[in-house]
Structure 1
Amino acid sequence: MKKYLKTGLMSSILLLSFLSSCTKEDSVFTDGGSAGIVELELPARTTSTVYAVKSLSFTAQEEVDFPVSINYTGVNGTPSDVKIAVEVNNSAVTTYNAASNTSYTPLPNELYTATSNEVTIPRGTKTGIFLIKLKTGSFDFTKSYALGITIRSTSSGTVSGNYGTGIYRVTAKNNYEGSYRVTGWFFHPTAGRAINAVKTLSTTGKESVSAPLGDLSGYAIEFSINGSKLEAYKPLGSTPTGLNSGFFTADQPGVSPTWINNPVSADAPGKGPWVVSTYNNSYDETAKTFYLAYGYVASGGSGQSSWSRQIYEKWVKQ
């Protein structure tokens, strides 16, 4: 019995010694099972994607900061100042396009500046910043830009095999983009109804946006903002084209012999509050508010006097 107890005791001591040595080795830098890994801060990627992709949107202006975070895994941060060599690598965008059947445009050199290609993560911390300045005010809004970024080397730790290179989709948004509380009325010969919803204006250009049409799915319009005036109406999606849709410049109550509304007590277009003198296709910059009056007919239109679907809307930015 003593022999067995002695043998068991020795085995336990050896096991504890082994576990202790492992704990001391792993506790210096351990984060999810990885130690001292230098990586770009990116969404998780799968084995089927060559690089992880992160999408970011910036206000369109002369220059805007784009801070790219670089992380050093570990419970206590870096053991000393870590110097990391990082650079824009737009060949990665080309590689990603070929592998993923996408068509991102590598951001041209004249549209960005990297402030430095060396990033320092100070001792005891976990994150450094690779700062890029984007000239978003000069972006071509018809293109889908992307930047490839690669960590080339590190003075301590190991560059991540999964997140050492990443793709950053960068888009510019104008000052009008955002969520709006939209109220108004959708006049229809047989199905008039109130509009009360939160809708989104999306950037299409430096001074232009797209908007959902009324409460219809798949219908939209585009317009530009010139001071207080809304101009350059354009139908999108399923919205009828040509003379079949557009902005109103006058009230057109005579288009339809009936305007059946829910509730039935609602006014007709051109009556009560629903007048183009109020909903005058304008923008109030101080109140961040749009007033819209537009309409359409499915086909055979000859201009606004033929549009039997008429929408009056007030958009207030949230």
Structure 2
Amino acid sequence: MKKIIFNTLLALTIATTLSSCLKDSVTDLDPSKGVNVIEFANPAAIVKTGAPYSLYTFAYATTETPSLPITVSYSGPQEFAPQDITVNIGLAPASTIDTYNTAIGTTYSMLNGNGYTFTGTSVVIKQGTNKATFTIPLKPGQFDFSKQEVLPITISSASSGVISGNFRTILLNVNAKNAYDGIYTPQEGSFVQRYSNPTTPTTGDALNGPTGTNPDVTLTTVSLTTVQIGNLRWSGGSSGVGGIDNLQATVDPATNLVTMKALGNATLANIPGSVNRYDPATKTFTLNFDWNQTSTKRVYSLKIKYKGSR
């Protein structure tokens, strides 16, 4: 009988202890028990998760004189700041970019000092609010097209409160857009044709045919005169064209003639005697190119018109 009573008391003790531990765990996870932090609010989508710092990307036309708005936030369970909080923001060291590159395998470099006018600033999150915004003036005409440039900024101090560990320092990737950058809509007359050999077109091939009703394509700046074409698809628009990674168009500004190439396929080129041209008056590209000319040739005739900025 004593043994039974002892076992019963032991079971009750264990259950009580576990219940207490579980309650403590739930309390620890309750957001209302947390502490507000001062951090950068996300200015755009994070480029890559799991990186040592959050990196956001922006692009501007070289003809623009924009200012990049950056917001500092008082974030957490407490909705508003209980008092005025002065937040000091400055440039982070260039080594921040090196740390990011090493961890992610990228080659970002520090934004040219002529490309912006920011050195540091202070903003005040006013009592009863939770955000304050400042701007960084940019000069896209001074960006280096040959590089992926980054501006690292950091919260150096705050008059009160806890500074976030995760969003204290962020990287701003700023790029210049050339005159051809944007979203383009395929036009009537566009088509694609596949071949089983250099001279025999495939038949009964659902990927062949008109592409004028395909989804929009994107033209992304590579250099002052070169854009990379994205979202190119076979007829019907249901699947992307493979085997020509990093498809690029280079415009000669003097003649508006276009040279086609693909970094992922050295055979891709203009079709001899065909039209490959940009019309600046209508912002329209007429492109005729092929690839795999000595084996399973593919021919693409593409006419696209500017729809809007990316």
Could you state the TM-score of these two structures normalised by the residue count of structure 1?
0.67
The alpha carbon displacement at 1:71 in A equals 0.5
Which residue of 1 is the match for residue 301 of structure 2?
312
Q: C-alpha separation between the residues in 1 aligned to 2:115 and 2:48? A: 30
Q: C-alpha separation between the residues in 2 aligned to 1:64 and 1:247? A: 40
Q: C-alpha separation between the residues in 1 aligned to 2:266 and 2:139? A: 34
Q: C-alpha separation between the residues in 2 aligned to 1:37 and 1:180? A: 43
1:84 corresponds to which letter in structure 2?
A: V
210, 220, 234: which is aligned to 2:261? 234
2:201 corresponds to which letter in structure 1?
A: T
Q: Contact 1:116/1:130 (CA < 8 Å) preserved in 2?
A: no
Change beyond 3 A, Cα 1:81–1:115: farther
The alpha carbon displacement at 1:63 in A equals 3.1
Counting matched residue pairs gives 251
60, 63, 66: which is aligned to 2:65? 63
The alpha carbon displacement at 1:309 in A equals 4.7
Could you state the TM-score of these two structures normalised by the residue count of structure 2?
0.68
Which residue of 1 is the match for residue 285 of structure 2?
290
Q: Which runs of 5+ in 2 are unaligned?
A: 1-29, 195-199, 203-207, 235-240
Q: SS at 1:229's partner residue?
A: coil
Change beyond 3 A, Cα 1:287–1:96: same
Q: C-alpha separation between the residues in 1 aligned to 2:47 and 2:250? A: 37
Which residue of 1 is the match for residue 110 of structure 2?
106
73, 80, 84: which is aligned to 2:87? 84
Q: Contact 1:222/1:236 (CA < 8 Å) preserved in 2?
A: no
Which residue of 1 is the match for residue 169 of structure 2?
165
The alpha carbon displacement at 1:286 in A equals 4.5
| 2:222 equivalent to 1:204 | yes
Change beyond 3 A, Cα 1:228–1:126: farther
Change beyond 3 A, Cα 1:181–1:38: same
The alpha carbon displacement at 1:181 in A equals 2.1
Change beyond 3 A, Cα 1:194–1:100: closer
Which residue of 2 is the match for residue 266 of structure 1?
none
Which residue of 1 is the match for residue 54 of structure 2?
52
Q: Contact 2:61/2:179 (CA < 8 Å) preserved in 1?
A: yes
Q: Contact 2:251/2:278 (CA < 8 Å) preserved in 1?
A: no
Which residue of 2 is the match for residue 246 of structure 1?
270
Q: C-alpha separation between the residues in 1 aligned to 2:155 and 2:31? A: 20
Which residue of 2 is the match for residue 190 of structure 1?
201
Q: Percent identity?
A: 28
Q: C-alpha separation between the residues in 1 aligned to 2:46 and 2:261? A: 39
68, 73, 76: which is aligned to 2:75? 73
The alpha carbon displacement at 1:168 in A equals 2.3
Q: SS at 1:114's partner residue?
A: coil
The alpha carbon displacement at 1:316 in A equals 2.1
State the Cα deviation string for residues 146-200 of structure 1 (Å, max 9, x = none): 2211101111211112211122222222343233221412245413522232222
2:219 corresponds to which letter in structure 1?
A: L
